[in-house]
Structures are given as structure tokens and as C-alpha cells.
Amino acid sequence: MPPTDQPQSLAPASTTGQRIASAVLALIVGAGAGLMGTLLHLQLHWFGSVVIPWGAVLGLLLVACAQLWATLATRQLWVGALMVVAAYTVIIGIAFTSTQDVFNIAINSYTWQELPGPVVAEGLWLFGVPVVAIIVLLISSRLMPRTAPRPVVPSNTH
């Protein structure tokens, strides 16, 4: 077989069915991670006057692991990105549609003065997910298999 000038991909061939299945996987995993993280993010532990927002940290870790798994399992960066979009859509949807304020805390000067721990956890959760998503996207792009190297063919200089 003659060598080609085009690099060969190490990723399996992607069909339309596989792309649809990957998208459905990303939406389901993302919605689940967003819901579970939202349920966890207001869990706090106080050490004197210092708050440890362990629920928000655990929620961010959950989203990061789910994104990394979805990306590396499918070998497609867009699947991990779609997973985070689904997670963040659930997070924002719950934050803005919750009428009882059970799953979120308003971030303003009053709540900062009265409830500093939950405000820290809420801010970490709402603003941390996009930051974590970008970091995991960069990490997963480095971990994904690259295309096969092109064979070195000596040039004839005569």
C-alpha cells in the first residue's frame, strides 16, 4: 500500500449514529452532574470563623470528572463541551426558577453580610463551573490521542 500524504487518525470512525449517541450521553451526564452538584454545593463546614465550602468543591470535582470522562471516552472534545453546557443549563435553570430559594443563595451585600458561607459556596459553584470547564477542556485536549505521525520520506536531492 503506498504511503499517503494525509495523517491517519487514531480515533475510530464516527458515524451519524455515534454522534447522536455521544450527544445524548453528554446531555444526560451533564444534566445529572449539574443537578447533583447543585444539590451538594451549599454543604459547608465551619472551622471557627473560616468556612469550608466542601459541597461546592465536590460539585466542581463531579463536573470536572464527568467532563473528562465524556471527552476521553468518546475521543471528541465537543462531547465534553456539550456536557458542560447541559450541566450549566441545569444549574442556571434551577438558580433562576427556584421560588423557595432552597437550592441557591442570592449574591448581594445583604446575604454577604448575613450568610457569608453560603454566598461563598454559591459564588464558587456558579462562577467555578465555567472556569473548571475550560481547564478540563485544555487538559483533555492534551490527553487525547493525536493523529499518527507522517512517515519521514527522504527527499531526492540529486
User: For residue 71, what are the contacts with CB-CB under 8 A and spacing of at least 6?
Assistant: 77, 79, 80, 83, 136, 137, 140, 144
User: For residue 143, what are the contacts with CB-CB under 8 A and spacing of at least 6?
Assistant: 68, 72
Q: Which residue range(s) make up the domain with 117?
A: 24-143
pLDDT of residue 9: 43
Bigger pLDDT: 95 vs 24: 24
Q: Is residue 55 part of a domain?
A: yes
Q: Is residue 71 part of a domain?
A: yes
Q: Is residue 63 part of a domain?
A: yes
Structural domains in the chain (count): 1
pLDDT digits (tens, 9 = 90+) for 54-83: 999 999 999 999 999 999 988 889 999 999
pTM for this model (two decimals): 0.77
Q: Is residue 57 part of a domain?
A: yes
Q: Is residue 153 part of a domain?
A: no
CA 124 from centre of chain: 15
pLDDT digits (tens, 9 = 90+) for 83-113: 999 999 999 988 888 666 666 777 778 877 8
Q: Is residue 58 part of a domain?
A: yes
CB-based burial, 41-71: b 16+ in 10 Å, e otherwise: bbebeeeeeebebebbbebbebbbebbbbbb
* Band of pLDDT at residue 13, cut at 50, 70 and 90: very low
pLDDT of residue 147: 57
Phi, psi of 93 (to 5 degrees): -60, -45
Q: Is residue 157 part of a domain?
A: no
Q: Is residue 158 part of a domain?
A: no
C-alpha distances (whole Å) from 122 to each of 4, 37, 93, 108, 110 are 54, 11, 14, 11, 14
Could you tell me which of 104, 99, 100, 101 has the C-alpha nearest to residue 56?
A: 104
